[in-house]
Every structure is written in structure tokens, then in C-alpha cells.
């Protein structure tokens, strides 16, 4: 079965400093992995996706993630945090089969301090 574990429920950084949100996955086959962001009372926006092409994936708003099969990790990074990055972030794995249903991690709340 597919699953993801987000290692931090809350991350706090200062504006202008790097961001690291950690995610480990478990999958019985080569997974498709995603990061989504959710601002308060809003739906989810896709930041980036990994689908077995390049292991370093670039997304929107300066975010990127690196797929490491040996570590079963898919950590999200950004060189310099902006106040507008404060939100909930979800690491997601495709559930497999033909449906494409998504399996979400518990989420990491990113706080950005001025």
C-alpha cells in the first residue's frame, strides 16, 4: 500500500531563510509524488509533481523537491522564504491502479516570521 509521512507538523522560518519540509514515502512500485499547498479556507494548489523523469523537480513560486529512492524521501525546499509562503503543505502519493486517487500526508504548517 502507498503512504506518505510528513516528518514535521510545524516548521517556522524567518523571511529570507531557506525552507525544508520533509516527506518520506512508502510504495510497492515506482510512485508518482506531489506537493500541494493549502492557504486558509482555500482548496489545494499543486506546487510540483514527480513522475519518474528527472529526480530534481522544479515547481511554482521557487519551490523544488528531490526524489531520493534510496532514502524513500521527497523533501520540499525553497532557497528563500517569503511571507506569502505561510500555509499548509501536503506531500502526496498517487494511490496506484487506474483511478489516480491521491493519498495525503498529515500536512506541515509553515510559519514565516518577519
Partner 1 sequence: DTGVSQDPRHKITKRGQNVTFRCDPISEHNRLYWYRQTLGQGPEFLTYFQNEAQLEKSRLLSDRFSAERPKGSFSTLEIQRTEQGDSAMYLCASSGTGHNQPQHFGDGTRLSIL
- Measured distance CA(96)–CA(48) in Å, rounded: 18
Among left, alpha and beta (phi > 0; psi -120 to 50; other), residue 17 is beta
* Residue with smaller CB distance to partner 1, 28 or 99: 99
Pick from 42, 58, 69, 82 the residue near partner 1 by CB under 8 A. 42
Count of residues near partner 1 by CB under 8 A: 25
* Residue with smaller CB distance to partner 1, 32 or 73: 32
- Measured distance CA(47)–CA(62) in Å, rounded: 9
Is residue 104 near partner 1 by the rule CB under 8 A? yes
Q: How far is CA 2 from CA 52, 83, 96, in A?
A: 16, 33, 8
Do 80 and 12 meet the contact criterion of CB atoms below 8 Å apart?
A: no
Is residue 22 near partner 1 by the rule CB under 8 A? no
Pick from 51, 55, 80, 111 the residue near partner 1 by CB under 8 A. 51
Provide the minimum distance between the beta carbon of 17 and partner 1 in the complex, in angstroms, as a whole number: 26
Which 3 state secondary structure label does DSSP give 83? Answer: helix
Provide the minimum distance between the beta carbon of 101 and partner 1 in the complex, in angstroms, as a whole number: 4
- Measured distance CA(54)–CA(18) in Å, rounded: 22
Positions in the binding site for partner 1 (CB under 8 A)? 32, 34, 36, 41-46, 49, 51, 90, 92, 94-95, 98-107
Amino acid at each position: 500500500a502507498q503512504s506518505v509521512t510528513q516528518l514535521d507538523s510545524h516548521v517556522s522560518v524567518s523571511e529570507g531563510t531557506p525552507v525544508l519540509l520533509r516527506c518520506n514515502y512508502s510504495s510497492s512500485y515506482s510512485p508518482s509524488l506531489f506537493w500541494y499547498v493549502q492557504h486558509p479556507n482555500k482548496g489545494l494548489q499543486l506546487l510540483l509533481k514527480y513522475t519518474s523523469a528527472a529526480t530534481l523537480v522544479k515547481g511554482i513560486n521557487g519551490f523544488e523537491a528531490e526524489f531520493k529512492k534510496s532514502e524513500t524521501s521527497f523533501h520540499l525546499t525553497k532557497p528563500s522564504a517569503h511571507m506569502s509562503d505561510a500555509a499548509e503543505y501536503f506531500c502526496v502519493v498517487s494511490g496506484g491502479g487506474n483511478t489516480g486517487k491521491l493519498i495525503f500526508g498529515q500536512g506541515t504548517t509553515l510559519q514565516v516570521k518577519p
